[in-house]
């Protein structure tokens, strides 16, 4: 009778399965996010098929990714990001060059076509700050030096990764549109870092005059959605817009009480994002040969980020280098988007697509436990952790 | 390049248009909700076509309706609801009988087929507590006697309305399934009112032991989604489940800080619900004859609820009777669902569908300004209104 039946079914069971696996993982002292992804793999369309998400769920998952990055942005101080800027830039650059070279080299060695090798190399490039930020946030250590270098580098890395994707997927034969896309992306990032926080400050008197109930939250949400759309329009991932929107409001977040309320939206939407990531993995595609290739590619993806991103931080001690290196390894949604674009434009084959999805999943699954390990002492230095964990804030 | 382009476009512009119209209406001292619905009529698919919502947006609108009622439930004290119970029951019963009789009578007078008349009568029955609750919430007067009678009556009314819909749309020739549906609905309501709050109290120690970050909010959200799904499964509207979930957690809402965080989710999702309500109105269908019929039907819908729901409250003074009568007039989403079911099962014609949509829209549009008028003195008795309005909570 009611048309919403299958949708509400998915909504309820995805939320419950994701949270159930998350709770089990937390009790095993593993990060909840891995559990939420695993829920998608095991009960999703390629697993037990208990819940098969449809388009509406994937749409909600996408909003979930945007609000995840919005919340991360709110917790990031733009001034700190600019202060760790130089290290973050070097980390991002080396962390892009090495995976690209190793990914390209391995695919050429396997006698894959050059254009396919270039695409795989591009998918190796972009770190998924979403997974990393969630783990750092769960551990309450977003304020440490390594965490800020990672978040700064991941932003630059995302922007550069999207430019690389633009380059390899561009059908243009001239350089002009590629240069335009690159300049747009860099301009967007600089604008949001240096100008947006000032703009928010100027908006404040106007916000207080507004009649709408709870105007600051509404405006922040509108700008979050607007920048996500703007990011997509100039050829970047929507999540980058969400992150910058959070960054722009970070200074005013305590005053307008934005963080706990953005977190509430995030608590509701994020499980759909992580479940969907797992639900997209078809484990049936893998035969022995593909598994070996996938394992080698995943190892290259891991090592290249570890070394590429760790080396520029070595001046701050090997422990910080290790933290940054490990924190930059997960690929996640950007890698999946690159794989999807490649498949939809027929540039890569179904088996190369499976390779990329495996690599994305492997780096995403292995990074959180390793991060828990290398960041352990930072988390122990947080005395308020236990009380804040219990959620009785 | 990015597949999310049209979706993010709709997401951003629906939110902005809804909030823009809402702000303009607030400044004209009209309720924001009318502005948000009007935004959907004017810029939606039957208006200027600036934004045409697709399935994903309607899905989000549906979650918006659920969380709207969840937030209302959180702000309602079950004990108060039970205390005003008797008055609410009489209000609901009289408020269902009168619209049904007048609606049926008018359609038969117009020489419409009997089965079509029964359907129109059913669509006249259910008050939309969503619109009313939003207006009462905006005015910060959810705690007044009339508001509690309205909310109590609207819940009973929704349950009874759904039973009436089940009766008229049932293809069963025997009484058994109809009786089962009716008993399920009444049992669900009684269970949630008397047993659920006690269940939540017993869950508390377990919640504190959970490892998941912010367990009480997660459990409340899961139960909200679960009860919405359960409501649909036993043949009621999903929003009834959302309302009861809020009611179950109302006692613990201050302690677990649920209200501001549920409100944040609501602030984000509700505009999509109200915009979508407007976007579904095709103003092009109306010729002079249909407009006259629609105006008469709307007037009957308004007067029948005003008298039917006002009379049982007359013992508390004519002012309270007027408040309850006016507060019960908007039909909204339940009326629209009835109209949709009728159209999809070919029981009603396209013009009868247009009649019902007009009636729903008219009662929804006229109720909030009238409510602002009759509830004015209650709002003025709230000294904290101005500060809380500015959103700097």
Tens of pLDDT, residue by residue over A142-186, are 888 888 888 888 777 766 776 676 666 654 445 666 677 677 777
Helix/strand/coil (H/E/C) assignment for every residue in chain A? CCCCHHHHHHHHHHHHHHHHHHHHHHHCCCCHHHHHHHHHHHHCCCCCCCCCCCHHHHHHHHHHHHHHHHHHHHCCCHHHHHHCHHHHHHHHHHHHHHHHHHHHHHHHHCCCCHHHHHHHHHHHHCCCHHHHHHHHHHCCCCCCHHHHHHHHHHHHHHHHHHHHHHHHHCCCCCCHHHHHHHHHHHHHHHHHHHCHHHHHHHHHHHHHHCCCCCHHHHHHHHHHHHHHHHHHHCCCCHHHHHHHHHHHHHHHCCCCCHHHHHHHHHHHHHHHHHHHHHHCCCHHHCCHHHHHHHHHHHHHHHHHHHHHHHHHHHHHCHHHHHHHHHHCCCCCHHHHHHHHHHHHCCCCCHHHHHHHHHHHHHHHHHHHHHHHHHCHHHHHCCCCHHHHHCCCC
Contact assignment for B257 to A393 by CB distance below 8 Å: yes
d(CA B147, CA B381): 14
**Between B125 and B281, the higher pLDDT residue:** B125
pLDDT for B78: 65
> Cα B200 to the chain's mean position, in Å?
25
**C-alpha radius of gyration, chain B, whole number:** 20
How high is the pLDDT of residue B382?
60
Q: Compute the distance between CA of residue B245 and CA of residue B241 in angstroms, rounded to an integer.
A: 6
Question: Are residues A261 and B256, on separate chains, in Cβ contact within 8 Å?
Answer: no
Q: Given this model, what pLDDT does residue A387 score?
A: 38
What's the gap in Å between the CA of B58 and the closest CA on chain A? 9
Residue A390 confidence (pLDDT) = 36
| Length of chain B, in residues | 393
More confident call, A272 vs B343: A272
For chain A positions 117-176, those within 8 Å of chain B (CB to CB) are 138, 166, 169
| Section B66-90 average pLDDT | 77
Whether the CB of B54 is below 8 Å from some CB of chain A: the reply is no
Confidence grade of residue B177 (pLDDT, cut at 50, 70, 90): low
For residues B291-306, average pLDDT: 94
Least reliable range by pLDDT among A3-7, B72-76, B325-329: A3-7
User: Distances from the Cα of B254 to the Cαs of A217, A290, A393, B259, B262, in angstroms?
Assistant: 21, 54, 11, 7, 12
For residue B28, the model assigns a pLDDT of: 80
Q: What are the distances in angstroms from CA B70 to CA A113, A146, B241, B262? A: 55, 40, 8, 8
Q: B386 to chain A: nearest residue by CA?
A: A211
Residue B375 has pLDDT above 70, yes or no: yes
Q: Residue B325 and residue B354: Cα distance in Å, rounded?
A: 25
C-alpha distance from A275 to closest chain B C-alpha (Å): 15
Mention every residue, 6+ apart, whose C-beta is less than 8 A from residue B37: B274, B275, B277, B278, B361, B364, B365
Q: Which of A45-54, A177-186, B31-40, B381-390 has the lowest mean pLDDT?
A: B381-390
Nearest CB to A212; choose among B26, B262, B393? B26
Nearest to A215 among B216, B264, B391 (CB): B391
Q: Measured between alpha carbons, how far is A131 from A326 in angstroms, rounded to an integer?
A: 12
DSSP code for A235: T
Interchain contact, B210 vs A23, CB within 8 Å: yes
Cα(B327)–Cα(B310) distance, integer angstroms: 10
Q: With bands split at pLDDT 50, 70 and 90, how would you rate the model's confidence at B381?
A: confident
Structure tokens belonging to residue A134: 């969630």
- Cβ contacts of B340 on chain A, cutoff 8 Å: 3
Tell me whether residues A222 and B265 touch, CB distance under 8 A: no
Nearest CB neighbour to B232, from listed A8, A19, A392: A8
Tell me if B222 and A19 make a contact (CB, 8 A cut-off): yes
Q: Which of B281, B283, B317 is nearest to B144 (CA)?
A: B317
Tokens standing for B384? Answer: 């904290």
* Per-residue pLDDT band at B223 (split at 50, 70, 90): very high
Question: Which chain B residue shows the shortest CA-CA distance from A36?
Answer: B212
- Residue A243 structure tokens: 């992150």
Spatial separation of the C-alpha atoms in residues B367 and B363, rounded to whole Å: 6
Cβ–Cβ contacts within 10 Å for residue A360, how many?
Answer: 29
Which residue, among B34, B263, B18, has the nearest Cα to B135 in the 3D structure? B34
pLDDT at A177: 65
A287 touches chain B (CB under 8 A): no
Burial A307-346 (b: 16+ CB within 10 A, else e): bbbbbbbeeeeeebbbbbbbbbbbbbbbbbbbbbbbbeee
Residue spans of beta strands (DSSP E) within chain B: none
For residue B259 the two structure tokens come to 């209200």
A1 touches chain B (CB under 8 A): yes
Contact B208 A392 (CB under 8 A): yes
Q: Residues of B with CB below 8 A from A3's CB? A: 340
How many whole angstroms separate alpha carbon B329 and alpha carbon B332? 10
In the stretch 312-351 of chain B, residues with CB closer than 8 A to chain A read 337, 340-341
Q: Do A15 and B268 touch (CB under 8 A)?
A: no
**Distance from the first to the final alpha carbon of chain B:** 41
B205–chain A nearest CA distance, Å: 11
Interface of B with A in 183-212 (CB under 8 A): 207-208, 210-212
* Interface mutation target, options B209, B268, B382, chain A, most CBs of A under 10 Å: B268
Which structure tokens are listed for A11? Answer: 């909504």
Read off the pLDDT of each residue in B344-370 and give the average, rounded to a whole number.
82
Test B212 with A169 for CB contact under 8 angstroms.
no
CB-based burial, B82-116: b 16+ in 10 Å, e otherwise:
eebeebbbbbbbbbbebbbebbbebbbeeebeeeb
A–B CB contacts, 8 A cutoff, strictly below: 194
Q: In the predicted model, is pLDDT for residue B213 greater than 80?
A: no
Sequence-ordered list of residues with C-beta below 8 angstroms from that of B28, at least 6 positions apart, any chain: none
**Residue of higher predicted confidence among A221 and B332:** A221
The confidence score (pLDDT) of residue B24 equals 92
pLDDT for A391 equals 35
Q: How many percent of chain B have pLDDT more than 70? A: 85
**Is A7–B62 a contact, with Cβ atoms under 8 angstroms apart?**
yes
Confirm if A222 and A46 have CB atoms less than 8 A apart. no
Is B259 an interface residue toward A (CB < 8 Å)? no
pLDDT of residue A297: 94
H helices, E strands: number in chain B: 19, 0
**pLDDT(B51) > 80:** yes
Using a CB-CB distance cutoff of 8 angstroms, which residues of chain A are in contact with residue B389?
211, 213
Residues of chain A with Cβ-Cβ distance to B263 below 8 Å are: 214, 261
Tokens of B268: 């984000």
How crowded is residue B191: how many other Cβ atoms within 10 Å of its Cβ? 12
Q: Is B79 on the interface with A (CB under 8 A)?
A: no
pLDDT of residue B251: 83
Of B19, B32, B238, the CB nearest to A4: B238
Mean pLDDT of B92-117: 90
Q: Which residues of chain A have pLDDT under 70?
A: 1-5, 29-31, 77-84, 130, 158-159, 162-163, 165-178, 181, 213, 235, 332-334, 336-337, 340, 344, 382-393
Residue B351 token pair: 């013009």
CB atoms within 10 A of CB B290: 15
Contact (Cβ atoms closer than 8 angstroms) between residue B249 and residue B11: no
More confident residue, B320 or B4: B320
- When pLDDT is cut at 50, 70 and 90, the band that residue B210 belongs to is confident
DSSP structure class, residue A210:
-
What six digits make up the tokens of A185? 């992306």
A268 touches chain B (CB under 8 A): yes
Instruction: Write the CA distances from A328 to A306, A332, A334, A366, integer angstroms.
Output: 7, 11, 13, 12
Q: Which residue has the tokens 């408020």?
A: B95
Please tell me the distance from the alpha carbon of residue B250 to that of residue B164, in angstroms, as a whole number. Answer: 29
Q: Does B379 have pLDDT greater than 80?
A: no
Question: Which residues, in sequence order, are CB contacts of A228 under 8 Å at separation 6+?
Answer: A66, A238, A239, A241, A242, A245, B8, B12
Contact B264/A267, CB-based, under 8 Å? no
Helices H / strands E in chain A, number of each: 19, 0
DSSP-assigned letters across all residues of B72-99 = HHHTS-HHHHHHTHHHHHHHHHHHHHHH
Residue B209: closest C-alpha in chain A:
A390
Tokens in use for A12?
């309820």
* pLDDT (average), residues B303-315: 91
Percentages helix, strand, coil for chain A (3-state, rounded to 5) are 80, 0, 20
| Residue closest to A227 by CA, chosen among A64, A74, A79, A70 | A70
Among candidates A166, A238, A391 on the partner chain, residue whose Cβ is nearest the Cβ of B213 = A391
Interface contact flag, B268 A263, Cβ < 8 Å: no
3-state secondary structure of A124: helix
How is residue A351 written in tokens? Answer: 């088996």
A380–B contact, CB cutoff 8 A: no
* CB contact (8 A) between residue A263 and residue B261: yes
When CB atoms are compared, the residue of A15, A62, A261 closest to B4 is A62
**Mean pLDDT along residues B78-103:** 81
Is B226 within 8 Å of A16 when comparing Cβ atoms? yes
Taking CB atoms and an 8 Å limit, are A392 and B216 in contact across chains?
yes
pLDDT of the residue at A103:
92
- Rounded CA-CA distance B220/B217 in Å is 5
pLDDT at B343 over 90: no
pLDDT computed for residue A233 by the predictor:
82
Q: Is B71 on the interface with A (CB under 8 A)?
A: no
- Tell me: pLDDT of B393 over 70: no
Contact B31, B135 (CB under 8 A): yes
User: CA-CA distance, B116 to B104, in Å (whole number)?
Assistant: 9
Q: A297 with A355: CB under 8 angstroms?
A: yes
């Amino acid at each position: 009778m009611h048309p919403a039946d299958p949708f509400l079914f998915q909504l309820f069971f995805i939320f419950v399965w994701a949270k159930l696996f998350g709770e089990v993982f937390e009790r095993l002292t593993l990060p909840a996010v891995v559990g939420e992804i695993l829920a998608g793999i095991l009960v999703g369309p390629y697993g037990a098929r208990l819940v098969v998400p449809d388009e509406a769920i994937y749409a909600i998952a996408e909003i979930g990714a945007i609000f995840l990055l919005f919340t991360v942005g709110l917790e990031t101080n733009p001034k700190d990001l600019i202060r760790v800027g130089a290290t973050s830039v070097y980390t991002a650059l080396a962390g892009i060059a090495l995976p690209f070279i190793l990914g390209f080299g391995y695919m050429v060695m396997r006698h894959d076509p050059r254009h396919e090798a270039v695409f795989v190399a591009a998918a190796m490039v972009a770190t998924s700050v979403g997974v990393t930020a969630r783990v750092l946030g769960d551990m309450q250590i977003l304020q440490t030096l390594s965490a800020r270098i990672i978040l700064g580098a991941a932003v630059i890395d995302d922007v550069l990764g999207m430019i690389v994707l633009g380059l390899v997927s561009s059908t243009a034969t001239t350089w002009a549109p590629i240069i335009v896309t690159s300049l747009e992306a860099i301009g967007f990032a600089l604008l949001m870092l240096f100008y947006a926080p000032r703009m928010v400050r100027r908006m404040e008197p106007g916000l207080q005059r507004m009649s709408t109930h709870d105007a600051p939250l509404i405006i922040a949400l509108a700008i979050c959605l607007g920048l996500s759309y703007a990011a997509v329009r100039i050829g970047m991932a929507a999540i980058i817009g969400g992150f910058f929107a959070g960054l722009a409001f970070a200074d005013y977040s305590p005053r307008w009480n934005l963080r706990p309320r953005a977190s509430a939206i995030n608590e509701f939407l994020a499980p759909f994002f992580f479940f969907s990531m797992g639900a997209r993995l078809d484990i049936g595609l893998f035969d022995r040969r593909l598994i070996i290739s996938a394992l080698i590619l995943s190892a290259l993806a891991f090592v290249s980020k570890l070394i590429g991103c760790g080396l520029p931080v070595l001046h701050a001690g090997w422990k910080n280098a290790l933290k940054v290196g490990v924190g930059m390894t997960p690929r996640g949604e950007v890698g999946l988007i690159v794989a999807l674009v490649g498949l939809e434009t027929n540039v890569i084959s179904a088996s190369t697509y499976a390779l990329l999805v495996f690599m994305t999943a492997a780096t995403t699954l292995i990074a959180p436990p390793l991060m828990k390990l290398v960041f352990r002492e930072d988390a122990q230095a947080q005395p308020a952790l236990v009380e804040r964990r219990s959620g009785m804030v």
